[in-house]
Structures are given as structure tokens and as C-alpha cells.
Structure 1
């Protein structure tokens, strides 16, 4: 999915009729799209079927009217209205059956931000309840300001879990690599110093990374809401520099995943150069042979390059585990929401000595 344009980020948005199932909901979250409020309108099936029977479509403007609730005043419009072909009682019943089958999975994903509202009442009352809900602010269940640090090999799901934590607790999601790129794109003073290293593909010096992180983590939103950080530190030396800068996480997680699972996740990723859409040869194959033929692989996802990245990670991880001795250990080779529930439980409960999951 394409990056959200700034007007939507500034003004907000309303999405209707999507996602329709669990897979689509996960796709939204993987793309970094997290609604703060989800409204589920419900009514008895008999009422919904009856309402559907009264819908009429203007074939000229594609505007939808209703014989009881929203009849047009213009006689010309009245004369050209037609009944949509897909709104027979049989078709509506099939759609309702599909909806009832998929809704429990969607409810599970969005249950912390979802409110059910009875739609079998005057529309003005429905609107009033919806407005009251979307204007409310969710209270975090976290008993403290979370400062969370994620470690894990490439492909272990750190980004998804960081996004889920950020959504649930309204903390700031900081990926070190992305932070560096944003500094360059924004033409900040630090960004100008970082740019030559990004352009050449060379590692950015620790002192520049630390200055950028210290500046970001000292911002009001991080101090007030907390943060979740991934991509730094990569070794104990960087961890010690974080300590000296008084950047101390209160929860640390190490993601563990078999190397064969990592290779399967990363080496089979493909991108459509025309649309920018991402696919996976096993988990999300291209829908047509035409799209399949034009897919390209990012060089970093070639097996040789994946192995190099893994070698760098594994050469440092043992020392990092010793450095952060009170860390939690996560089996990342399972359902993302099982992983999230474990991480969440570690965040909201008092810190134990050591835990393995």
C-alpha cells in the first residue's frame, strides 16, 4: 500500500467497508495503518434485509436513495431510480452470512478500540453515539511510561510488533534506520551530516546516530507517552553509549527465529515495480501471471545478503543478551497476535528476573 498523504495524516480519515476479514486487517496493520476508533453498527438481520429491499440507485449520479428513509424530492430523479441487482433478499442473506463468519476475527484484532452501536434507531441518535465515541481518547492500560527496546534478526517481525505496541499504548514508534532517512529527507543539520553515509551505503558513525536518537527521545511526545525502539543498539558498545546518554529502556525483548524461517520470509519477498505492491511467493503470491512476470526482488533479500546480515546480528547478540540481563525472550515463529499478547503482558506487569516464551 502507498504511503498516506499528509492531508490524511493531519486531518484524519474515515474508512468504510474495509477490512472485511482477518487477512485484510493484518495487511492494514503491516502497512502501518491503525485506526484509533472502530465503530461496528449492528441491527437484526431481518431489519437489514428489509432495509436493503428499499434501496434505489440513480444510474446517472450513482447516488443511493431509499424508498422510506431518503427519497429524492426531484421527480426526474425519482423516475430514473433503479433497484441494484445485488440487493435481492438472497444476495443480502449471503453477504450477511459472510459478514457473520468474518466479524469475530476482526473484532479480536480491534477489540481495544472498537465500539458496537445499535443501528436500529433514528439516524440522529446513531450519529450522536458515534460522535461521542470518536471524540473520546482511549486510556492506556500501561501502569508506567513504556520505554521498550526490540532486538531480533531481520525478518523476525520487530516492525509489526513495534507498530502494534505503538497503537495499543499510544507510544512513539522509532526505527533507527527510518529515523536516519527522515533526517536526511527533512534536510536537518544532522541530516546533512548523515546524508553522505546513507547515499554511499556506509554505516553512519555512532556519535551521529546517538545525537539523533537523543534528540528524538528527548522530545515531549517520547517523554510523555513513552517509546518503542528498534535498530539500535547493534552491539554492546552502542548499548553503553545509550546508558551514558541516560537512555534506559524499562523493557527489553529479544526475538528468536530459526534461520530457515528467516530465509523463507525474506528471500521470497517480491515487489511490483509498477504499483509498488509487495508480494511473497508462498504467503501472498501475485494474483495474475502478468503481475508475477514483472515482480522484482530487492537486492537485500537475496540469500547471500540475508546471510551477511544474519552473521552480523548473531556475532553481537550474545553480548547484548548479557548486557540486558533482564530481557524477555520471544519465540517469533508463531502467530503475530500470540506474540503481541505475550509482549503486552510483559509491559503491563511488574518486571520479573528473566522470562522465556
Structure 2
């Protein structure tokens, strides 16, 4: 007997699927980040509280940009939308419960720069409060230097999403000159672009300090000096957004960005399902995906033929169906499919399946057998294109080479004269297959709510690039509250 304690250890494939389904990798990463940020005296008790909060999807957002770029307005709107506290220089310094805030305010009063380590301590202290622990946070205007960004990262304060606004300096100066602040609520308005209709609010508006043209220009110069250092501190989590547009449009772009989950180091096994009518290129796209990423290519039709050729028990059950031209029973296909997709190589490398399911009932049975794709693609194209693709393809019986009347005609007259068309590619047979597909595909498309639809009536490499973009990037999180 082999010693099960020696490496390499064999991990059952189902464990990886369970961990992925319930987000266990993200939970472990979040627990470790919490320990590094908060450094609790009782780590076990802290981790138990973390699990109780279940806040691993809570927002952690940085809103950065030059003066008058609208970052305060966007941060306040986001705070209301996400029910997450907004942290800025002003809100941190206004903390009457913090002795650190009083120390930082003294630097401000002396017109001196607040030290980076003091900002870090202030932010760390603020994040210990329950609202940040439970609901996440939105930091506005910080860090404003590369050194502060590095210091925050060093203590484990790492955002999931970073939004950086930009606009021409002339636009920013003009914006700043018209800026007004509600002294009661802190809401920001503008004399030209966003003047409040409520006369009571108008009475509360005051001109904030430091918005003169000279002061704004000085702050812009300082911002540009630190701009590239800040950009270098944040990688692919950063999104640049043009601030020279209506605030509602900028907010929509921010919301779109934060709905995209950040990249994670958690293990991920692609489970891809390609659906589409005959002639949509499913086999070709599956081959391209398998070739580039080493994913297991699972063609349902080929798998059935291989089972019969190998003489397996399931193959013996399938053979009468093939001999009589009947469709193979769903329960037999699913058993064969489950055996293949539950092998270790499919769990480690992932799989791309095509040729099954063909209708909603088969899809339900597939999920009942715990075959759960995490990417579903529907390749769509018009009926006329399908008929043209299939009914004009032929094969050379001598060389076995495949040709097409329009896309790949035979090079010589002799080869063209001996080309044969398969009976299943006759236009009438193709029309029947297409009609059958569209009769059942509606329910299938509805069943897979998160399916991605791609126009297959274009160059195959272009189609592959579209599919690839959804494979390598996380899918957006649907936020129904927005």
C-alpha cells in the first residue's frame, strides 16, 4: 500500500468545486487581510467575528483625481448607493473622538503638510469602527502621493477598485471657481452646472476656501507632480475616467467598474459551455480554446462514438441507438458526460463542452448531475448564413480534404469534379436541423441567465477574441440595487 501522507497528495476534484462555489478562497484571503490590517490581540476571536460579518464582498474603493474633478460628489453618491462610509481628509480630521485627528489638524492650522504616517494611523483607526468593518469603505482624495500609497499598502490597506478622474486644467479651474458647498449637509454644488432648485439649500451655500484661480493652479501643479507615482502604485484595479462630462455619466462608469470583481489568485478551473445552431463554429472555437489554454475539449458527439468504439458498458447501450439512427437517451448521455467531466484532468485543467445540452430539459438534467458551467456562450448567426455555411461544404473522397464553394474552393478542376456533398448537408436537411434548433433554443437561452451572446457571423479569430476576453476577465457582479 502507498503512504497517503507522502507527496503528492491526491485531493478529490469535488473539493475544488465546493471551494469555488462557496468562495472559500476569497474568505481565506479576506481573513488574512483582516489580520494584517487590524492586528487584533485575539486573532481567533477576531476571525470568528469576521466570519459572522460575512463582508468579503464589501466595497473597498479609492476615488482619486485633481481638484474640482468631481471626486467628492461621486464619492458621496457612491456612499449612499453602497451604504459604505466615505473617508476623506475632511471627515478624518473632523473625528472629535480621535486624538490623532487633533494632531493632524494642528499641522493644517500651521499650513504644514500632514505627515504620511499620521494619515496612515488615522485611516487605520477609522477602519476599526463597525461601519467600516461591516460595510467596507470609500476613500476620497487619499493617497495623494506615491509614498502615502506605499505606506497604506504596507499596512494591508489595499483597495479592490481604484477610480482616477482626469480633465484639462482649464476645465478644472473653471469648475473650481463656481464651486459652492452646503454648510449644513456638505453637499457640493456649482453655480453653472448644478445649482440647487431649493431656495433653503441656496441660503446654506458658501464659497469654500482655496478655490481661487491662483490657488487651484498651485494645487494642480502639485497634483501633476505626484500623479504618475500614484498611478504606478495601483495596477489593473485602476480605472481612468474623464471628468469632463455630466456627473451622472461619470457615476455610471464608476458603477460599471466596481461591478467587475478584482483579479484573484484563487485557483480557477474554466468550465465552458458553447451553444449555438449548426454551423455556428462551436467545434472550431472549442478547438482554439483547448489549444491555447490546455483545456479539455469535450465534444458530445465524438464522446458517444468513442464509447461505442471502445466497447464500454455504456457504449454497448448506445450502439443500438446509433445503428437505428435514433437520438441517444438523455440519461445515458449524461452518465457518459458525468464520467468524463469528473475525471481529474477536467477538474485541474477545466473543460469546454459543445453538442450538449440541446434543450432546457437536458440543461436541467445536466445541472442535476452537478455539471455546472461557469461560462456559457451562445454563438448566434442568421439562418441564411447557416444554410450557406453548411449546404455548400464538400469533401474530396480521394484526399479527404474539406472544401467550400464560397470560402475554400478546390484548387484544380479535377479536384472540383470529384467533390461530394454529405447527405446531411443537403439544403433541406440543413433547414430541418436549423428549425429544430430554434424550436428548442429559446428555453435554453432563458435557462442560462448569465449566458454571453456573441455574433458568430464574422471572422472565426474575431469570435475567438470575444470569447477569450470573457474567459480571462472576471464576470461583472450584478448589483440589483443600482
Both structures adopt the same fold (TM-score exceeding 0.5): yes
Q: Which residue of 2 aligns with 1:328?
A: 452
| 2: CA distance, partners of 1:142 / 1:346 | 17
Q: Which residue of 1 aligns with 2:473?
A: 349
Structure 2 unaligned runs (5+)? 1-264
Query: Counterparts in 2 of 1:298-337, with a 5 A limit?
Result: 298-337=422-461
Q: In the TM superposition, what whole-angstrom CA distance separates every residue of 1:60-115 from its partner, at most 9, and x where no partner exists?
A: xxxxxxxxxxxxxxxxxxxxxxxxxxxxxxxxxxxxxxxxxxxxxxxxxxxxxxxx
Q: Specify the SS of the correspondent of 1:155.
A: coil
Query: Counterparts in 2 of 1:85-234, with a 5 A limit?
Result: 144-234=268-358
Q: Which residue of 2 aligns with 1:282?
A: 406
Q: Which residue of 1 aligns with 2:377?
A: 253
| Contact 1:147 1:227 (C-alpha < 8 Å) held by counterparts | yes
Q: Which residue of 2 aligns with 1:59?
A: none
Q: Specify the SS of the correspondent of 1:162.
A: helix
| 2: CA distance, partners of 1:233 / 1:253 | 12
1:263 to 360, 380, 387: 387
Residue 352 of structure 1: CA displacement? 2.6
Q: In the TM superposition, what whole-angstrom CA distance separates every residue of 1:166-211 from its partner, at most 9, and x where no partner exists?
A: 1121110011011000111111111111011112211000011001
What RMSD in Å do the two structures reach over aligned CA positions? 1.5
**How many aligned positions are there?**
214
| Contact 1:271 1:295 (C-alpha < 8 Å) held by counterparts | yes
Residue 320 of structure 1: CA displacement? 0.7
Larger radius of gyration: 2
Distance verdict in 2 for CA 1:142–1:341, change over 3 Å? farther
| 2: CA distance, partners of 1:294 / 1:337 | 31
Q: Which residue of 1 aligns with 2:36?
A: none
Residue 142 of structure 1: CA displacement? 10
| Contact 1:142 1:348 (C-alpha < 8 Å) held by counterparts | no
Distance verdict in 2 for CA 1:254–1:240, change over 3 Å? same
Q: Specify the SS of the correspondent of 2:361.
A: helix
Moved over 6 A (4+): none
Question: With structure 1 as the length reference, what TM-score do the two structures score?
Answer: 0.58
| 2: CA distance, partners of 1:203 / 1:183 | 15
Which stretch of the first structure deviates more once superposed, 194-203 or 244-253? 194-203
| 2: CA distance, partners of 1:199 / 1:244 | 29
Query: Counterparts in 2 of 1:41-52, with a 5 A limit?
Result: none
| 1: CA distance, partners of 2:449 / 2:318 | 32
Q: In the TM superposition, what whole-angstrom CA distance separates every residue of 1:258-310 from its partner, at most 9, and x where no partner exists?
A: 11111111111011111211111111111111111111100110011001111
| 2: CA distance, partners of 1:325 / 1:292 | 46
| 2: CA distance, partners of 1:352 / 1:257 | 25
Q: Specify the SS of the correspondent of 1:255.
A: strand
| 1: CA distance, partners of 2:439 / 2:378 | 14
Q: Specify the SS of the correspondent of 1:253.
A: strand
| Contact 1:175 1:229 (C-alpha < 8 Å) held by counterparts | yes
Q: Which residue of 1 aligns with 2:152?
A: none
Q: Which residue of 1 aligns with 2:10?
A: none
Higher relative contact order (CA 8 A, sep 6+): 1
| 2: CA distance, partners of 1:242 / 1:228 | 14
Q: In the TM superposition, what whole-angstrom CA distance separates every residue of 1:10-68 from its partner, at most 9, and x where no partner exists?
A: xxxxxxxxxxxxxxxxxxxxxxxxxxxxxxxxxxxxxxxxxxxxxxxxxxxxxxxxxxx
Query: Counterparts in 2 of 1:44-63, with a 5 A limit?
Result: none
Q: Which residue of 2 aligns with 1:236?
A: 360
Query: Is 1:338 aligned to residue 462 of structure 2?
Result: yes
